[in-house]
Structure 1
Amino acid sequence: MEQDRPVGVLLREWRLRRGLSQLELSVQSGISTRHVSFVETGRTVPSPAMLERFAEHLSIPLRERNRLLVAAGHAPSYRHRPLDDPDLDTALTAVRRVLDGHEPYPALAVDRRWNLLFANAAFEIFLDGVHADLLRPPINMMRLGLHPKGFASRLRNLNQVRGYLLPRLARQAAQTGDFELASLHEELIAYATESAPAAPDPAEVALPIQIRHRGASLCFFNTITTFGAAFDVTLDEIAIEAYFPADAVTADHLHALARDTDYAPAPSMSCNGARSR
């Protein structure tokens, strides 16, 4: 079974994903090449401290660090709690405050596979005309953006967005070894309507996201924020994506929507499709 694979095999896979030789990992981690070789071949069982040093220099996610520890016969070091665990209330309240504080501009939080966890009210502008099947939890933001029945039909620069997101998703799948991300990448490639996605423009400071909404042509750029010092697997895998208006027209449109009493966006969205404030 996958979870029964030896720690040395797992470590070697992570080293190869990062494109490092045993010598390079040895130099970076300060652990001798001989020890690296002995761990990978199963001749040495690494201590938790040694595995942590390897993990730091290989940028291994917390979830996979736990897996390495268990494979070596040690207890996992990092807690992994469900989102509804009371101990996460403080952190998740902070996430919601960040999202709500970004209004009237859209903001959302996703997990490691781009599944929507939370979103603020302004996020509703992306949902106009989206097919109901794509809004059944878990809502995947990559799929929502690039699926023909998602908001891809309203993207004025769809090929440019595809040219940025697809390579990014491919790199993420390769770097993490996540089969579901690889499958998602293959699915999204199949939705292509152009012969090839447009390469990102190196002159752009950030990828513009150009979308139509209620007769207006809007333009956004976005940022992604993660917890800087998370020691919990769940928190480590949460990313906050915030959209900013790239021009005055977009800013004015969003502020007008927020003031419009006839436009009543739903309260902020939670991961199970319920609404929450």
Structure 2
Amino acid sequence: MHDESFGDLLRSWRQRRRVSQLDLAIEAEVSARHISFLETGRARPSREMVMKLAEELDVPLRHRNRLLVAAGFAPVFRERDVAGPEMDVVRQALDKILAGHEPYPAVVVDVAWNLVAANQAAAMFMDGVPDHLLKDPVNIMRLSLHPEAMGGRLLNLAEVRAHLLPRLRRQAEVTGDGRLTELHDEIAGYRYPGIELNVAVVPSPADILLPFRIRHGDRVLSMFTTIATFGTPVDVTASELAIETFWPNDEETMAFFR
């Protein structure tokens, strides 16, 4: 981190967000010349300017710390262990959401889709999954599409894959997290004999959401998901947590869980 140039990092995030120097200057209420000087190293930013530019570019908290360090300042956003005592309030909120969503599945994941917590109903996703996919950290995105896990039980695998892979790629671009790029490339390389993967999702007029249609024993369960995050995090760990809740998409699935 100490060898990184603030100007290079700023330019990288500005280009990642597809924002011109002029547009960023207008939002940050400075001149385009000043933005240019910051990117070339001819000017040094104040700590307040680093924070303002990072806010305008919607830089994740982890990378705001990198910008601060590169500019010669101490990082300001802490990264606490989710299991530590300082995170008691956060864990209590997560536990209430997970328990309150029973009898339907719910999971908490970090920015790389690694499993942080889950309710009891989510155990169904682990049924029949080989041990090598259940080693810590269990990755929910890998579990969803791996042919030896849920990927081998999804009846509409091609449609779900066509939705999840672009979302994972966009998340990698938005967050700048190399782990997501590696995960995307790994999953994109999975092979499913006999299944045509090169499909576009074309919803019918009756569709509202794209469901996950999962074979579970002699049943077919149909579910959709919602994802929630903390609204105003100032901690790196809290900012990277997401709660994915699964909901029944039909009466049969609802009856199964109840």
Q: Same fold (TM over 0.5)?
A: yes
Aligned to 2:201: 200
Q: Distance in 2 between matches of 1:234 and 1:120?
A: 20
- How is 1:38-57 mapped onto 2 (pairs within 5 angstroms)? 38-57=37-56
Counterpart among 232, 237, 249 of residue 234 in structure 1 = 237
Residue identity (%): 48
Aligned to 2:27: 28
Q: 1:102 to 1:197 in 2, by over 3 A?
A: farther
Q: 1:100 to 1:197 in 2, by over 3 A?
A: farther
Aligned to 1:130: 129
Check conservation: 2:142, 2:187, Cα contact below 8 A.
Answer: yes
> For each residue in 1:155-194, what CA deviation from the matched residue of structure 2 results, as whole angstroms up to 9, or x when unmatched?
1111111000111111111222222211111110110434
Check conservation: 1:128, 1:151, Cα contact below 8 A.
Answer: no
Check conservation: 1:223, 1:241, Cα contact below 8 A.
Answer: yes
Check conservation: 2:110, 2:241, Cα contact below 8 A.
Answer: yes
Structure-2-length-normalised TM-score? 0.94
Structure-1-length-normalised TM-score? 0.88
Aligned to 1:11: 10
Check conservation: 1:7, 1:40, Cα contact below 8 A.
Answer: yes
| One-letter amino acid of the structure 2 residue matched with residue 164 of structure 1 | H
1:197 CA displacement = 4.0
| One-letter amino acid of the structure 1 residue matched with residue 225 of structure 2 | N
Aligned to 2:252: 249
Aligned to 1:73: 72
1:75 CA displacement = 1.4
Counterpart among 195, 208, 225 of residue 222 in structure 1 = 225
- How is 1:93-172 mapped onto 2 (pairs within 5 angstroms)? 93-172=92-171
| One-letter amino acid of the structure 2 residue matched with residue 213 of structure 1 | H
Q: Distance in 2 between matches of 1:217 and 1:172?
A: 30
Q: Distance in 2 between matches of 1:99 and 1:36?
A: 45
Secondary structure of 1:217 counterpart: strand
Q: Distance in 2 between matches of 1:180 and 1:22?
A: 29
Check conservation: 1:26, 1:33, Cα contact below 8 A.
Answer: yes
1:3 CA displacement = 4.7
| Comparing 205-214 and 242-251, the one that deviates more | 205-214
1:128 CA displacement = 1.3
Say yes or no: does 1:186 pair with 2:180: no
Structure 1 segments of 4 or more deviating over 4 A?
Answer: none
| One-letter amino acid of the structure 1 residue matched with residue 56 of structure 2 | H
| One-letter amino acid of the structure 2 residue matched with residue 201 of structure 1 | V
Q: Distance in 2 between matches of 1:9 and 1:54?
A: 14
| One-letter amino acid of the structure 2 residue matched with residue 109 of structure 1 | V
Q: 1:68 to 1:129 in 2, by over 3 A?
A: same
1:246 CA displacement = 0.8
Check conservation: 1:160, 1:197, Cα contact below 8 A.
Answer: no
Q: Distance in 1 between matches of 2:67 and 2:214?
A: 43
- Unaligned stretches of 5+ residues in structure 2: none
Check conservation: 1:23, 1:33, Cα contact below 8 A.
Answer: yes
| One-letter amino acid of the structure 1 residue matched with residue 120 of structure 2 | A
Aligned to 1:266: none
Q: Distance in 2 between matches of 1:140 and 1:199?
A: 25
1:198 CA displacement = 2.8
Q: Distance in 2 between matches of 1:129 and 1:172?
A: 29
Q: 1:31 to 1:89 in 2, by over 3 A?
A: same
Check conservation: 1:162, 1:198, Cα contact below 8 A.
Answer: no
- Unaligned stretches of 5+ residues in structure 1: 256-277
| One-letter amino acid of the structure 2 residue matched with residue 24 of structure 1 | D
1:201 CA displacement = 3.3
| One-letter amino acid of the structure 1 residue matched with residue 127 of structure 2 | D
